[in-house]
């Protein structure tokens, strides 16, 4: 009975609606610029990869990234930590050939660090979106090449670098 009523209603609506002419149809659909909100970034409410020009992770050379990387390395436990880092000079972003684009925004960066014992070492660091406090902001993780004696970032800082193309 419900199907019959739905069919009758659809017939009445189609009979009452005027026929569309070719001049009534737009040549191309008008696309508005999509703006994302906080809920679009949560996979439950939308596609987090469908937010164009959404720069949620700052550049590798941004001053707040460099200061966050210095804080990260200098607050490590004395048992793990290399000599304290005096300065970090960012060299730039590393290209990520695999898993690009990814639902998780991640920037891989490299730089040089000056240690307080006089050594200069190569450092790899990466920024991750939504890994800050309660998943709201970004976080930075740093590996100093040759000073990861507990292999937190695997040998030669492999975890802190993008995967090589096969």
pLDDT tens-digit series, residues 72-87: 999 887 777 778 999 9
Q: Give mean pLDDT, residues 24-34.
A: 49
More confident residue, 58 or 90: 90
Q: Is residue 55 part of a domain?
A: no
The yes-or-no verdict on residue 152 having pLDDT over 50 is yes
For residue 39, is it within any domain?
no
Closest CA to 92 of 106, 107, 102: 107
Instruction: State what percent of residues in the chain have pLDDT above 90.
Output: 31
Q: Is residue 41, in this structure, part of any structural domain at all?
A: no
What is the domain range of residue 151?
A: 62-157
**Any domain includes 143:** yes
What's the pLDDT band for 26 if we cut at 50, 70, 90?
very low
92 within a domain of the structure (yes/no): yes
CB atoms within 10 A of CB 130: 18
> Hey, how many other C-beta atoms are within 10 angstroms of the C-beta on 157?
23
Pairing mode, strands 106-115 and 85-94: antiparallel
Is residue 131, in this structure, part of any structural domain at all? yes
71 is a domain residue: yes
What does the chain come to in residues? Answer: 166
**DSSP letter at 165?**
P
Instruction: Domain count for the chain, please give it.
Output: 1
Residue 28 pLDDT: 46
Which of the residue ranges 16-20, 26-30, 37-41 would you say has the lowest mean pLDDT? 26-30
Q: 86: part of which helix (H) or strand (E)?
A: strand 85-94
12 within a domain of the structure (yes/no) = no
Q: How far apart are CA 9 and CA 15, in angstroms?
A: 10
CA distance 117 to 32: 56
Predicted pLDDT at 18: 57
């Amino acid at each position: 009975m419900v199907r019959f009523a739905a069919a009758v209603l659809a017939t009445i609506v189609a009979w009452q609606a005027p026929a569309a002419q070719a001049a009534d149809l737009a040549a191309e659909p008008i696309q508005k610029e999509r703006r994302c909100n906080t809920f679009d970034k949560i996979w439950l409410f939308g596609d987090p990869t469908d937010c164009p020009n959404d720069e949620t992770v700052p550049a590798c050379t941004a001053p707040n990234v460099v200061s966050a990387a210095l804080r990260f390395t200098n607050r490590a436990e004395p048992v793990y930590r290399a000599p304290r880092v005096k300065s970090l000079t960012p060299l730039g972003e590393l290209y990520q050939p695999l898993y690009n684009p990814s639902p998780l925004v991640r920037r891989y960066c490299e730089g040089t660090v000056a240690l307080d014992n006089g050594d200069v070492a190569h450092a790899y660091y990466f920024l991750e979106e939504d890994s800050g406090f309660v998943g709201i902001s970004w976080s930075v993780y740093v590996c100093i090449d040759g000073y990861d004696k507990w292999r937190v970032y695997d040998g030669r800082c492999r975890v802190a670098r993008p995967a090589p193309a096969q």
